[in-house]
Amino acid sequence: MLSLKEIGSKYPTNKNDYGFLDIYENYFKNLRNKNLNILEIGVDKGDSLRLWREYFINSRICGLDIDKKDFVIQNVEIYQGDQNDKILLNKIAKKYGKFDIIIDDGSHVSKHIINSFNYLFDHLRQDGIYIVEDLQTSYIPRYGGSRINLIKKNSSMNFFKSLSDSINYENFDRPFFKKHRFDGLIKSIHFYQNIVFVFKGQSAKYFHQNVKINFLDRLKKMLSFFFR
């Protein structure tokens, strides 16, 4: 059975050039024979979809691209449209149900990446994986990033950094804590050069979902922090 990298050598996808296939292999090798639903945003010439089709032999695979494609890939469905179009995303999700793997290799614009994640996360299966490629664009101004301000609020990289915070912080130590929508719903986030893997699932030690702290309690905790 060919490895993902060996299959990738047949297709000129830039996933070969960026070293992504070795990383993907680590996460996908135990999934390749399962019956999965896979969505990739960003089709280009279709080579990565051909790669996934040959690797995930029992899975349903679909792609989404802003441009209309004049080619057909056997056993792969390709949608034309904007990754920000919630109506279209809902149409795709309704047909496929929950996705096991979602890969965003689309516009690379921070706003688009964040919008797509916010919408599609609910359509990702528990224990599913959400992947965003080419995060280097998070530092390029025309993609909504900054080369100077590395903590720019609305960049895609800082969005995913904030998700890491939601896994690790303790709300008892945060005065005026307000629950974030992803708190307790993400098991782990793995960063590599220019790519991030978000694993959906119950945070292992997350036990604050039902905790309600009133205003006075929060104020006391804040004051005790400053005057201890």
The string of DSSP letters for 143-208 reads: GT--SS-TT-TTSHHHHHHHHHHHHH--GGGSTT----TTTTSEEEEEEETTEEEEEES--TT---
Give the structural domain span for 187. 4-227
* pLDDT tens for each residue of the chain, 228 residues long: 899 999 999 998 889 888 999 999 999 999 999 999 999 999 999 999 999 999 999 999 999 999 999 999 999 999 999 999 999 999 999 999 999 999 999 999 999 999 999 999 999 999 999 999 999 999 999 999 888 888 888 999 999 999 988 787 765 555 666 677 898 899 999 999 999 999 999 876 655 544 454 555 656 666 666 665
Q: Rounded to the nearest 10 degrees, what angle do helices 110-120 and 156-168 cross at?
A: 40
Query: Residue 75 is encoded by which pair of tokens?
Result: 């056993």
How many domains is the chain built from? 1
For strands 99-104 and 37-41, give the pairing: parallel
Q: What is the pLDDT of residue 225?
A: 60
Q: Which of 108, 112, 123, 180 is catalytic?
A: 108
Q: Which residue has the tokens 């390029």?
A: 140
- Residue 95: give its domain's CATH number: 3.40.50.150
Chain mean position to CA 153:
18
**60 forms bridges with which residues in the sheet?**
37
Q: How many whole angstroms separate alpha carbon 21 and alpha carbon 18? A: 8
Query: Residue 203 is encoded by which pair of tokens?
Result: 């945070």
CA-angle at 81, arms to 92 and 139, nearest 5°: 105
Q: What is the pLDDT of residue 184?
A: 84
User: Among this protein's residues, is 180 annotated catalytic?
Assistant: no
Q: What is the pLDDT of residue 151?
A: 82
Residue 224 CB neighbours (<10 A): 10
